[in-house]
Structure 1
Amino acid sequence: MHILHVHFEDTEVNGSGHIDFRCGQSTLRKWTIWPDSHQNVERLNLLAFVCIGSRFLPQFNKFTMSTCRSNTDGFRLEFVFTRHAPWDIPAESNPVVASGFLVSPDGAVQELKKRDSKHVSSDIPFRSNSFGSGMQQSFSLAYGPEWRVHDGTDCFDFSETTHRLERFLSLFDSNAHLTDGVAFLRKLHYRTVKSRLPAVRTMELLSDAFKEDFQVKTDQWLDRDADFGELWKRLNPWQFEAIVPIIDAVRHVVDATPHDLNPMERPGVVLWRLPYSFCCDDRFSRWIDVLDRLFPNIQFVVVLPTESLEIFPREVMERELTVPCAVNGITRRKLLHLGRLRSDTILLVDVDGRIPNVALMKLSAFYRLKGYRTQLIRGGHWDVKSVEQVFASCVFNSATSLRRVWKLRERFGDAMTMGGSGLDLKLRLPAEIEEMPADFSLYSETRDMAIGFLTRGCPFKCPFCVVPQKEGLPRQVSSLDELLQNRTKVVLLDDNILAYPQADNLLSEMAARKLDVNFNQTLDLRLVNKERASLLRRINCRNYRFSRANYHFSLNNTDHFEAMRRNYGYFSFKKRSDNVEFVCMYGFDTTLAEDVERFRFIRSLPGAYVFVQQYRFIPNGKETDLSDFFDDQADDLIDQLIKICFPQNMKSMEQYYRWLSRIYFERFGKLHMPLVDTIYRYNLRDRKGMYITNMLTSGTSRRK
């Protein structure tokens, strides 16, 4: 993030005016220096309000209220800023955007719409000023002339809901605390000795700069047994004053750039009032030079006493930053513009499928044989002006899928035929189409693989499953030759291939032909014996992308553990590279105790890990029943759960943790904090405080 220009109206000191940081069309000043005055202090505060954003600005209402001019409806800010890929936006998004808001005399904040803008060019996209929703995007900091330092009280786990606001507090409050340098350096050092490259590079930059420019003895900083508590005590007062705000800035950059190999290179904005106050004449220019080197892409706006302007390094003041080029006509989700299709074109719509849809591929084969063209569209982002016949398939019964179905029906009306298990379990393709080989050319990802069914049906009547109702008992519907069409990779969608009486013949043929096979709908471990395990080990069982070995089983309840453990043993899985995945459905009728028991069982199997999948209601399916999900041991069970760690795919477990956290809060009216800590232990740590705030706020709303 960089700020290009700001327009303000009805502020207490400056009234109305604008601030422009651009040097030309493609550059802006890296360092903007203003002499200390009431007008410039207010302008610095206005920039801080821009950076804080409309969501959190009401928490600064005592400062915003004092900025409102008397006898007005409040002050107005409009601004143009840049966003930078990959830190703030995807590469395809437009980097130059505008935003704005009104602040009333009571501190309330109202976001402006594009139609309300007075000062922003109409060709600049207008966006919500949502700064503050996380730690990573739109990086900015602000510092005042006085501050305190945390001493053993700093929080590094992002559990504070206002953690991002701490970046700005010292500009307004002399009692605000900056980072505990010892605690931060210890954390950075821990990552450094673990050879984590971002930490190594950051530590090297800091130690070199502090040693060269501030005579800090940093020779031991990279040692494995470095004692930062003792090293900190050796600092002279002037060294302490000089490096504390730098360490604080580095800490926030690292927080905002957790996965970047070069975190210090990220763009952002730093506002500073009177930094000269804690750095004497002969060291001030060197201190500025350190900031300039450590943060090469940061835009600095500084208010200084007039006498300090004379010693500000001229070569630093002349530096410029590049404005990212705007990309016209780019949106994050591109519409597929098909326009008016030829009259001999059949439109096939894959409403919500994540993998190629077999029914649509059979329809394509059928109509192409009759001389028609076929055109596939996927999801809900398309624009078709005219078409005579449409077939659409909806697999899921989710709200998103149903919205897309409604949109399709509204658009195509009687020209469209709709089917799929998400809508109607009884509607089937006509026999003459069902018997057609699939047209794999319809989907680009099927270039070198086949996908479809050898068998359909299942003899079991699991309460969550519609296969027995829809397909009946197992039967063969295709031969390997018919399905493969001369390919050597195949994704099998069979409901329960091992339940088919002649399954061993099919497995033997796959092994003999040395096929790469993805058993996409999992294998029923209950139906495995020594011979079948041997056959399956001879088959190249792969993941969906055929990039590694993968065996897929399912475990949806706590029945048959002993038989499954025995059958699992027939495979002699020992290595993690076997990648044995158990798909576990949750949110249907199991209890928390049963879920924990399932996860513990899977963890006890050599080489096994879990993939969780939430139950989705489908037409004529059974509703979920979670009335008995929790018992009086809920807290203890969750404590046990979060200690069960799998060798891979814990990202999937995080999905279950989030669901569990939500229903726990709904049931007990509180958060289970060890569970929340586990959710944010490795991923999206900066959003932890926001998650806590949103949960507590939503709970308050429901109770009202």
Structure 2
Amino acid sequence: MKIGIIDADLLGRQKHRFPNLVCEKLSAYWKEKGAEVELKLDYENLNEFDHVYIAKVFTDTWVPKWIQESVNMDTGEANLPENIHVGGTGFFFANAPNLDDEIEHHMPDYNLYNDWIDNEVRKAEQAAGEAGKKFNKRTFMVQFKEYTDYSIGFMTRGCFRKCPFCVNQKYDKVFRHSPLDEFYDPSRKKICLLDDNFLGCPEWRTILEELKALKKPFKFKQGMDERLLTDERCEVLFSASYDGDYTFAFDNISDYDLIHRKLQLIRKYTKATNIKFYVLVGFESTDVQDIINMWRRVALLMRYHCLPYIMRYQNKNETPWKKSEYRSFYITMARWCNQPGFFKKKSFRQFCEANQAHHKTEGTLCSAMKALVDFEERYPEIAKEYFDLRFDQFELEG
């Protein structure tokens, strides 16, 4: 039996660096059955395989036209040759079919991407040599840390929020999905959890205690629901050996007062500088009110020394912000907020001025400065309120 596995996001997105868990489970499942498994890095000669599995997370990831046109995103069905199977939210959005239980609950094959990584290292080392530069393998390998250092899985599934912009709408509750030993590899340094709404699970404390008992750093990749934070949850969560950013979400301006209270609660238990919030924009509208709502949230997070990460909404069919008159402003805000090195040290205005200073065409405005100038001319009071705010001007509240 010959099995081909294609991680569509790896092939179709520049600098994509996160393993596809479904691909790893499929690989392990078929290897256990004695099959020859290949991570394919193209879409050629698919008829040579008994089965080819194509997994896609993001709707805008490129795949060959003949594959994309065969998929019905609304029904979760695909009209493809018998040996080709597609799956994931990138193909079916909220209607992605579940894996069979024997695959879903299989230990992942954490070696699936090894040959690809080795080849990337060889190419980089060769390119450095041809350019007369020294190749630092240790630094280069940092980009592959999720492939090499982490055990990855879901301990819970589901979410009760039913947010209209989210793909996780299959269930009405959060429930225990799998035991830790289903995907935990003791030889790996860290643990990465992909849970949809972990804090909404009735067994959240038991699970956190299980993770803490391993004495290995762990993180929640998808973010947590800060609206569910309590003193008890904060005490357990912020005393854990956590890896990287504590990530939450600030999707709705209507939650402003609630999030404000939760920020105060967070700062009661930790002064950590690695608190990050996804800030959804371009969903309810792409007009000036959406820009104001974005700024209000960013400014509040800044007061509590939390990092915003601008998430520009896109659905299965379109990307509304790209059609907005404020398209350039959305891009500039994301470039500023989503790079902590800039956000922590420069105001929005200073960030745009720094971009202008590096602009090569004399006498013209760079895209960042033009976005600032155009907006400030139309809405000077909004610009006055927000454009000169600096992260380091605020003393940490809490």
Under TM normalisation by the shorter chain, which class is it? 0.5 to 0.7
Q: Which residue of 2 is the match for residue 352 of structure 1?
A: 9
- Is 2:85 the counterpart of 1:386? no
Counterparts in 2 of 1:601 and 1:390: CA distance versus 1, 3 Å: same
Kindly provide the CA deviation profile for residues 66-96 of structure 1, in whole angstroms up to 9, marking residues without a partner as x.
xxxxxxxxxxxxxxxxxxxxxxxxxxxxxxx
- Is 2:147 the counterpart of 1:449? no
Counterparts in 2 of 1:514 and 1:571: CA distance versus 1, 3 Å: farther
Structure 1, unaligned runs of 5 or more: 1-343, 544-549, 631-636, 658-673, 697-704
Q: Which residue of 1 is the match for residue 139 of structure 2?
A: none
User: Which residue of the other structure, out of 335, 342, 367, is the alignment partner of 2:30?
Assistant: 367
Q: Which residue of 2 is the match for residue 535 of structure 1?
A: 236
CA distance in 1 between partners of 2:319 and 2:163 (Å): 13
| TM-score, normalising length: structure 2 | 0.66
The structure with the largest strand share of the pair is 1
| Pairwise CA distance, 1:386 | 3.2
Counterparts in 2 of 1:467 and 1:686: CA distance versus 1, 3 Å: same
Aligned length: 310
| Pairwise CA distance, 1:346 | 0.6
Q: Which residue of 2 is the match for residue 485 of structure 1?
A: 185
Q: Is the 8 A contact 1:489 1:517 kept in 2?
A: yes
Q: Which residue of 2 is the match for residue 509 of structure 1?
A: 210
CA distance in 1 between partners of 2:339 and 2:9 (Å): 31
CA distance in 1 between partners of 2:319 and 2:60 (Å): 14
| Pairwise CA distance, 1:577 | 5.9
CA distance in 2 between partners of 1:357 and 1:478 (Å): 18
SS of residue paired to 2:27: helix
| Pairwise CA distance, 1:356 | 1.1
The one-letter amino acid of 1:686's match is K
Counterparts in 2 of 1:542 and 1:422: CA distance versus 1, 3 Å: same
SS of residue paired to 2:9: coil
Q: Which residue of 2 is the match for residue 461 of structure 1?
A: 162
CA distance in 2 between partners of 1:536 and 1:439 (Å): 29
| Pairwise CA distance, 1:570 | 3.2
- Is 2:57 the counterpart of 1:395? yes
Q: 1:107-122 residue pairs with structure 2 within 5 A?
A: none
| Pairwise CA distance, 1:627 | 10
| Pairwise CA distance, 1:407 | 10
Kindly provide the CA deviation profile for residues 280-318 of structure 1, in whole angstroms up to 9, marking residues without a partner as x.
xxxxxxxxxxxxxxxxxxxxxxxxxxxxxxxxxxxxxxx
Counterparts in 2 of 1:576 and 1:423: CA distance versus 1, 3 Å: same
Q: Which residue of 1 is the match for residue 102 of structure 2?
A: 432
CA distance in 2 between partners of 1:676 and 1:447 (Å): 35
Counterparts in 2 of 1:577 and 1:541: CA distance versus 1, 3 Å: same
Q: Which residue of 2 is the match for residue 685 of structure 1?
A: 359
The one-letter amino acid of 2:308's match is V
| Pairwise CA distance, 1:402 | 6.1
| Pairwise CA distance, 1:685 | 3.0
- Is 2:180 the counterpart of 1:475? no
Counterparts in 2 of 1:675 and 1:383: CA distance versus 1, 3 Å: farther
Q: Which residue of 1 is the match for residue 308 of structure 2?
A: 610
Counterparts in 2 of 1:574 and 1:509: CA distance versus 1, 3 Å: closer
Counterparts in 2 of 1:345 and 1:646: CA distance versus 1, 3 Å: closer
- Is 2:292 the counterpart of 1:593? yes
Structure 2, unaligned runs of 5 or more: 11-15, 72-79, 115-143, 372-398
SS of residue paired to 1:588: coil
- Is 2:247 the counterpart of 1:552? yes
| Pairwise CA distance, 1:405 | 4.2
CA distance in 2 between partners of 1:403 and 1:646 (Å): 32
Backbone CA RMSD of aligned residues: 4.0
Q: Which residue of 2 is the match for residue 497 of structure 1?
A: 198
CA distance in 2 between partners of 1:352 and 1:647 (Å): 23
User: Which residue of the other structure, out of 396, 419, 437, is the alignment partner of 2:87?
Assistant: 419
The one-letter amino acid of 1:352's match is D
Q: Is the 8 A contact 1:351 1:405 kept in 2?
A: no
Kindly provide the CA deviation profile for residues 131-182 of structure 1, in whole angstroms up to 9, marking residues without a partner as x.
xxxxxxxxxxxxxxxxxxxxxxxxxxxxxxxxxxxxxxxxxxxxxxxxxxxx
Kindly provide the CA deviation profile for residues 595-653 of structure 1, in whole angstroms up to 9, marking residues without a partner as x.
11111111111x3111112212127xx985899998xxxxxx99xx89x989925479x
The one-letter amino acid of 1:616's match is Q
CA distance in 2 between partners of 1:686 and 1:398 (Å): 32
Q: 1:79-158 residue pairs with structure 2 within 5 A?
A: none
**Identity of counterpart residues, as a percentage?**
25
Q: Is the 8 A contact 1:519 1:541 kept in 2?
A: no
CA distance in 2 between partners of 1:686 and 1:650 (Å): 21
Counterparts in 2 of 1:574 and 1:471: CA distance versus 1, 3 Å: closer
CA distance in 2 between partners of 1:629 and 1:432 (Å): 49
| Pairwise CA distance, 1:678 | 4.6
The structure with the largest helix share of the pair is 2
| TM-score, normalising length: structure 1 | 0.39
CA distance in 1 between partners of 2:49 and 2:156 (Å): 35
| Pairwise CA distance, 1:555 | 0.8
CA distance in 1 between partners of 2:339 and 2:21 (Å): 34
Kindly provide the CA deviation profile for residues 318-351 of structure 1, in whole angstroms up to 9, marking residues without a partner as x.
xxxxxxxxxxxxxxxxxxxxxxxxxx32100000
Counterparts in 2 of 1:435 and 1:574: CA distance versus 1, 3 Å: closer
| Pairwise CA distance, 1:472 | 4.1
Q: Is the 8 A contact 1:348 1:390 kept in 2?
A: yes
SS of residue paired to 1:429: coil
CA distance in 1 between partners of 2:45 and 2:356 (Å): 42
